[in-house]
Amino acid sequence: MNAVGRESPTRGLAIQAQPIERDAAHLLDALEAGVLILSRDLRVEYANARWSIWLGSSISAGVAFISLVRENGAFVQDELRAALADGETRNLHLNLIGGRDNAPRHVSCCVRVAGDGLVIEAHADADDEHAAMHDTARRLGEVTDMVEVLRTLCDIAIQQCGASAAAVLRVVDHQGEVVAAAGDLLPALGHCFPLEGSLLEKAISEQVIVSENHFRDSGRPLMRAVPELSLGPVILAPLHAHGETLGVLAVARGVSAKPFRAREIDRLRMLADHAALAVHKSMLLMQAQSADRAKGRFLATMSHELRTPLTALAGYNELLCDQVIGPVSDPQLDILERMRSVTMHLSAMIEEILSFTNLEEGRELVRPSEFLVADLVRASIAVVQPMADQKKLTLEVVLPKTPVRITSDIDKSRQILVNLLGNALKFTDAGGVRVVVRKTGDDVRIDVTDTGIGIAEEELARLFRPFAQVDTGLTRRHGGTGLGLYISRRLVTLLGGHIEVNSQQGAGSTFSVIFPVAWEARS
Q: How far apart are CA 238 and CA 215, in angstroms?
A: 18
Question: Does 512 participate in binding ligand ADP (rule CB under 6 A)?
Answer: no
Q: Which residues contact 485 (CB under 8 A, 6 or more apart)?
A: 419, 423, 463, 464, 468, 499
Exactly one of 450, 490, 495, 519 binds ligand ADP (CB under 6 A); that residue is: 450
466: exposed, middle or buried (C-beta count within 10 Å: 0-12, 13-18, 19+)?
middle
- Give the length of the chain: 523
Question: Does 446 participate in binding ligand ADP (rule CB under 6 A)?
Answer: no
Exactly one of 131, 246, 485, 513 binds ligand ADP (CB under 6 A); that residue is: 485
Q: How far apart are CA 363 and CA 382, in angstroms?
A: 28
Contact call for residues 483 and 469 (beta carbons, < 8 A): no
The 3-class secondary structure across 240-295, one letter per residue, is EECCEEEEEEEEEEECCCCCCCHHHHHHHHHHHHHHHHHHHHHHHHHHHHHHHHHH
Question: Does 427 participate in binding ligand ADP (rule CB under 6 A)?
Answer: yes
Q: How far apart are CA 222 and CA 203, in angstroms?
A: 14
Shortest reach from residue 476's CB to ligand ADP, in Å: 8
Q: How far apart are CA 337 and CA 340, in angstroms?
A: 5
Shortest reach from residue 455's CB to ligand ADP, in Å: 5
Shortest reach from residue 479's CB to ligand ADP, in Å: 7
Question: Does 429 participate in binding ligand ADP (rule CB under 6 A)?
Answer: no
Question: Does 177 participate in binding ligand ADP (rule CB under 6 A)?
Answer: no
Exactly one of 84, 188, 406, 424 binds ligand ADP (CB under 6 A); that residue is: 424
> With respect to ligand ADP, which residue has the nearer C-beta, 321 or 468?
468
Contact call for residues 411 and 405 (beta carbons, < 8 A): no
Q: How far apart are CA 460 and CA 444, in angstroms?
A: 23
Question: Does 480 participate in binding ligand ADP (rule CB under 6 A)?
Answer: yes
Exactly one of 481, 496, 516, 517 binds ligand ADP (CB under 6 A); that residue is: 481
E-strand ranges in 39-185 read 44-47, 90-96, 105-114, 117-124, 165-172, 175-183
Shortest reach from residue 296's CB to ligand ADP, in Å: 17
Question: What is the DSSP secondary-structure string of 51-92?
Answer: HHHHHTS---TT-BGGGGBSS-HHHHHHHHHHHHHH---EEE
41: how many CB neighbours lie within 10 A of its CB? Answer: 12
CB under 6 A: which stretch of 258-266, 329-337, 467-475, 491-499 binds ligand ADP? Answer: 467-475
Q: How far apart are CA 47 and CA 214, in angstroms?
A: 31
Question: Does 502 participate in binding ligand ADP (rule CB under 6 A)?
Answer: no
The 404-423 contact track toward ligand ADP, x by CB under 6 A, reads ---------------x---x
Q: Is the dihedral of CA 417, 420, 423, 425 positive or negative?
A: negative
> With respect to ligand ADP, which residue has the nearer C-beta, 252 or 455?
455
Which amino acid makes up residue 363? R
Return the residues of window 25-64 that contact ligand ADP according to CB under 6 A. none
> With respect to ligand ADP, which residue has the nearer C-beta, 292 or 471?
471
Number of residues lying near ligand ADP (CB under 6 A): 21
Exactly one of 373, 455, 492, 495 binds ligand ADP (CB under 6 A); that residue is: 455
Return the residues of window 254-293 that contact ligand ADP according to CB under 6 A. none
Shortest reach from residue 220's CB to ligand ADP, in Å: 58
Question: Does 233 participate in binding ligand ADP (rule CB under 6 A)?
Answer: no
E-strand ranges in 312-454 read 369-372, 394-398, 405-408, 432-440, 443-450
Exactly one of 318, 375, 471, 500 binds ligand ADP (CB under 6 A); that residue is: 471
Shortest reach from residue 501's CB to ligand ADP, in Å: 8
Question: Does 463 participate in binding ligand ADP (rule CB under 6 A)?
Answer: yes
Exactly one of 470, 491, 492, 513 binds ligand ADP (CB under 6 A); that residue is: 470
> With respect to ligand ADP, which residue has the nearer C-beta, 42 or 468?
468
Question: Does 451 participate in binding ligand ADP (rule CB under 6 A)?
Answer: no
Q: Which of 499, 421, 491 is nearest to 460 (CA)?
A: 499
Shortest reach from residue 463's CB to ligand ADP, in Å: 5
Q: How far apart are CA 205 and CA 210, in angstroms?
A: 11
End-to-end CA distance of the chain: 74
Residue 262, by phi and psi: left (phi above 0), alpha (psi -120 to 50) or beta? alpha
The 362-401 contact track toward ligand ADP, x by CB under 6 A, reads ----------------------------------------
> With respect to ligand ADP, which residue has the nearer C-beta, 51 or 356?
356
Binding footprint of ligand ADP on the chain (CB under 6 A): 419, 423-424, 427, 450, 452-453, 455, 463, 468-471, 480-486, 509
